[in-house]
Amino acid sequence: MTDVLFLRSDELAGLATPAEYVDAVRDGYESYGTDGTAAPRTKLTNEEPPGMCTGYLAVLPSVGAMGGYTYAAGFGDGDVHFALPLFDAESGRMIALLDGASMNPHKTGATGAVAVDALAREDATTCAVIGSGAQARGQLRATATVREFETVQVFSPTLESRQSFADEFDDRLAAAVSAVPSAADALDGADVVITATRASTPVFEDADLPDGAHVTAMGQYDRGKYELPPETVARSTYVPDLHDRAFQDAGAFLAARDAGLVDDDHIRADLGDIVAGEAAGRTSDEAITVFDSGGTGVETVAAAWMLYEKAREAGLGERIEFAPGSEALTGE
């Protein structure tokens, strides 16, 4: 039998700081850009009952880990559960099974922060946030560790939600955080723009986006839905998390391509190539850069490995047994 460490979501909550998530995810994308392998999500849908089952994988030799993430949504269940098996990249042995619920907004936020660090101007001081849910919170928590923001302007359609968001982060961050009445107000003077919404159409006007801004879009990964105007994609240095994913479900990129504004070669590189120094990102202070985040196994495995190591040092988790496949097949 193989001993596997099972880690509950409540054990993992608060185990790492936003900066530690960012460092781990940066290492993951650097590994992917140099010696790793990852593929876009596999998504299977069902009509009756309506639902979907999805998952994605990554092998990160430099990190020392491989594994993935799988979850189902719908099918009559009112919630979602994230199962995350983690394997040692050298031996191939399964070493841990994580309940990924509490880490989800942190590892996603860390991915956006890694992109901001790689693509935004070094002197960025003003951040716009469009959205006020858990993912928007995760993005801002992590991004604030890589740039010293002086001002954060948040917009979401519901006054109470954006005000609550602003109040929370005005206490949490050194920056002055305020709720504003429109997306245009949020983008006014913004150096970094974060979109984290459920919107199916653009959440701001391209004309409102200042020159030199960086945009992280992470609220949509669907061929027919997009948070960014196609015109923004067209005038940007466009970087997805994975090159192949852009052609699968990066709705903003596909909309710009369908409109004839860009072609397949518009993708500068994926994030791993830029973090690993294999490709250039920002080329000037006036350039618009876009990071299109749809979720990959890279940040998932990298963050899970970091949490596994911290949990093991802290003596957390419960040992469970998995039967080796050879034993099951031979009966020995």
Give the CATH number of the domain where residue 245 resides.
3.40.50.720
**Is residue 242 located within the same domain as residue 284?**
yes
Q: Residue 174 has what DSSP assignment? A: S
3-state SS, residue 118? helix
Q: How many helices (H) and strands (E) does the chain have?
A: 12, 15
**Is residue 183 located within the same domain as residue 272?**
yes
Cα–Cα distance measured from residue 49 to residue 31, given in angstroms and rounded to the nearest whole number: 39
Confidence at 139, pLDDT banded by 50, 70, 90: very high
Domain boundaries, position 17: 2-104+297-330
Cα–Cα distance measured from residue 98 to residue 82, given in angstroms and rounded to the nearest whole number: 8
**Is residue 198 located within the same domain as residue 308?**
no
**Is residue 251 located within the same domain as residue 306?**
no
Cα–Cα distance measured from residue 72 to residue 146, given in angstroms and rounded to the nearest whole number: 33
* pTM for the structure as a whole: 0.95
pLDDT, tens digit, for every residue of 268-307?
999 999 999 999 999 999 999 999 999 999 999 999 999 9
Confidence at 332, pLDDT banded by 50, 70, 90: low
In a domain? residue 112: no
In a domain? residue 237: yes
**Is residue 192 located within the same domain as residue 51?**
no
**Is residue 93 located within the same domain as residue 128?**
no
**Pairing between β-strand 214-217 and β-strand 288-292 as defined by DSSP bridges:** parallel
Report the alpha-carbon angle 275-265-112, nearest 5.
35
In a domain? residue 32: yes
In a domain? residue 111: no
Q: How many residues does the chain have?
A: 332
Total tally of structural domains belonging to the chain: 2
